[in-house]
A and B are shown apart, each in its own frame.
Chain A
């Protein structure tokens, strides 16, 4: 660019200075540079980089790595919160079982989530090291980083880092003299939120439409090309090197009594806050502390509701700000921790409009495989558009209840429909009056007709 004018170029950044980030308290981010430049191989190696690979590949066996990961209870940071160690322990290996794949889910597309981008753009070697350890534990022969197509900078940085790692002998045959061989390729996608669903991701990796697969068989039994396959999120894999170096007890202790979950979490805040951003904090940090770090809401606005971890999580209220943000606590409040990056909704913002936006997203991104999702979500959008314009009909809010229930867990192949239902159900529970205000009184003639033919 030749002009002198400042363009609003977006840069991923962590809002914590290096002085706050220490190796034993900030395993994910302590190596990040204050200037935001990439931690390259030399820099990474000077900061204990690949130490875990050297130690583990020479002194451990796969089962002992899995045992440490199980004990540390690193819960899946993509949002599901399933123990990575437990997942690994279910991977088929040994005997006649062919060596399979490690697939890193780098398809970050959950609305409100911008954490994996930072890890990939600024610190690619931590992810690569985590993948090598995961491959060793699961006897994988090859790894893929399934990266969303729009993350152009991540693709550039990762490709360069993979070449660096290969040249230094951290990838390829006989890694660090251990006899273990493994390599990684970057696989870039071409859009569609559903690719982040573990089994849809495998179909996409194989070059098909990203429709989810029935489970069982689980990917650990039969994944990519029918081989045992482990799919883990970027942040989950980035936790592995420190867990292997410092141990399960250390990892468990990181949350410091806030919760029974262990480790740290990349938390973030977006929406109308003064300082939207990203921080590595102990898991179990409260929503209030995150909001404080974001320096509160803009222009003295008041908080109405918040999503704890993306579009597919349920709405929480201001009174929930004091709760520790961990998987179980948030689950008990009828929501999910999800990705842990909170989205705030202020008093002056319409829940009906936001819900319409969210359901437009889920309707557009449905792969179309299951009826409640393919047909129910556009219907939901239609009803919400009517309510938003004040043209809703009596019975519309109850119909939304029903459509959301039809998208509940277990009624479709994957978690897309339940993900669309959860924010709607919680919004209807907490803010029903807003939806009811959109119903037109007296009743429109259209509703007398059994076929819904409103003006929408």
Chain B
């Protein structure tokens, strides 16, 4: 009988020199303990990496898979599904501008135009100095303050085009 080798794709996958920070690995293991199965901590694990690096580098995928004991394809499948997990580098600050119906009816187009003019970028792009990334987002639940947007963890609305310069100043 032929000698069978154990499937070992997790050991052989390149990690591009990515090293999981020990604190992050510990945080992931703790998260995994909140659920019946460690796969459930997958989104949180991606967010943990993202908090440290700003995005999820390629090498983090097999690293997370190893910690959670799941396949890398499953982690990548999750990473590419969710809009707030970034698989490309983003700016130091992420602007999420709400493009849903209430904001659309109260001035999204003007806000979007003003943001594009001021930053010199369109949706999905990052400024050359790496300061801002501009992304559209689902209804922010701030419809009584439309047009609304978020910068990092802060919600703003209603945002007038003339208020933008001063607002962006606070994020260096």
Partner pick for B83 among A13, A111, A190, A349, CB 8 A cutoff: A190
**A271 engages B105 (CB within 8 Å):** yes
Interface residue A240 (Cβ < 8 Å from any Cβ of B): no
**B81 engages A209 (CB within 8 Å):** yes
A1-12 near B? 1/0 per residue, CB < 8 Å: 101010111101
**A1 engages B170 (CB within 8 Å):** yes
**B99 engages A357 (CB within 8 Å):** yes
**A112 engages B158 (CB within 8 Å):** no
Q: Shortest distance in angstroms between B128's beta carbon and chain A's nearest beta carbon?
A: 26
Partner pick for B43 among A207, A268, A269, CB 8 A cutoff: A207
Partner pick for B157 among A8, A208, A345, CB 8 A cutoff: A8
* A278 / chain B contacts, CB cutoff of 8 Å: 144
* B42 / chain A contacts, CB cutoff of 8 Å: 207-208
State A388–B146 Cα separation when bound (angstroms).
23
Interface residue A174 (Cβ < 8 Å from any Cβ of B): no
Partner pick for A276 among B146, B154, B170, CB 8 A cutoff: B146
**B157 engages A10 (CB within 8 Å):** yes
State A157–B150 Cα separation when bound (angstroms).
18
Q: Shortest distance in angstroms between B62's beta carbon and chain A's nearest beta carbon?
A: 16
**B100 engages A361 (CB within 8 Å):** yes
Q: Which residues 398-432 of A have a CB within 8 angstroms of B?
A: none
A170-189 near B? 1/0 per residue, CB < 8 Å: 00000000000000010111
Interface residue A109 (Cβ < 8 Å from any Cβ of B): yes
* A354 / chain B contacts, CB cutoff of 8 Å: 101, 104-105
Pick from B10-18, B19-27, B113-121, B159-167 the stretch touching chain A: B159-167
* A435 / chain B contacts, CB cutoff of 8 Å: none
State A141–B121 Cα separation when bound (angstroms).
49
**B142 engages A10 (CB within 8 Å):** yes
Which chain A residue has the least Cβ–Cβ distance from B36?
A225
The size bracket of the interface on A is: 35 or more
Interface residue A321 (Cβ < 8 Å from any Cβ of B): no
State A7–B44 Cα separation when bound (angstroms).
31
Q: Which residues 246-285 of A have a CB within 8 angstroms of B?
A: 268-272, 276-278
Interface residue B153 (Cβ < 8 Å from any Cβ of A): yes
> Known interface pairs A190-B85, A191-B137, A276-B146. Does A343 touch B96 (Cβ–Cβ under 8 Å)?
no
* A13 / chain B contacts, CB cutoff of 8 Å: 144
**A271 engages B102 (CB within 8 Å):** yes
**A270 engages B39 (CB within 8 Å):** no
Partner pick for B155 among A3, A9, A111, A185, CB 8 A cutoff: A9
**B101 engages A9 (CB within 8 Å):** no
Partner pick for B156 among A7, A272, A341, A344, CB 8 A cutoff: A7
* A349 / chain B contacts, CB cutoff of 8 Å: 105
**B143 engages A112 (CB within 8 Å):** yes
Partner pick for B142 among A114, A192, A360, CB 8 A cutoff: A114
State A257–B100 Cα separation when bound (angstroms).
35
**A151 engages B141 (CB within 8 Å):** yes
**B102 engages A3 (CB within 8 Å):** no
* A205 / chain B contacts, CB cutoff of 8 Å: 40
* B38 / chain A contacts, CB cutoff of 8 Å: 207
**B156 engages A357 (CB within 8 Å):** no
Partner pick for B81 among A149, A210, A268, CB 8 A cutoff: A210
Q: Most A CB atoms within 10 A — which of B43, B83, B157, B169? A: B43
State A270–B144 Cα separation when bound (angstroms).
5
Q: Shortest distance in angstroms between B65's beta carbon and chain A's nearest beta carbon?
A: 12
Partner pick for B138 among A193, A204, A270, A271, CB 8 A cutoff: A193
A-B contact pairs, 26 of them (CB 8 A): A7-B166, A9-B155, A10-B156, A110-B139, A111-B143, A148-B141, A150-B84, A152-B153, A185-B34, A190-B47, A190-B83, A192-B83, A206-B35, A207-B35, A208-B77, A224-B36, A268-B144, A270-B105, A271-B105, A276-B143, A276-B144, A311-B101, A343-B102, A354-B101, A354-B105, A357-B104
Contacts A207-B39, A276-B145, A360-B99 known; 17 new A-B pairs at CB < 8 A: A8-B167, A9-B155, A117-B142, A148-B141, A150-B96, A153-B155, A189-B43, A209-B78, A270-B106, A270-B143, A271-B106, A311-B100, A343-B105, A343-B143, A344-B105, A354-B104, A357-B104
Ranked nearest first, the 3 interchain pairs of A and B with the lowest CB-CB distance are A191-B83, A207-B42, A270-B143
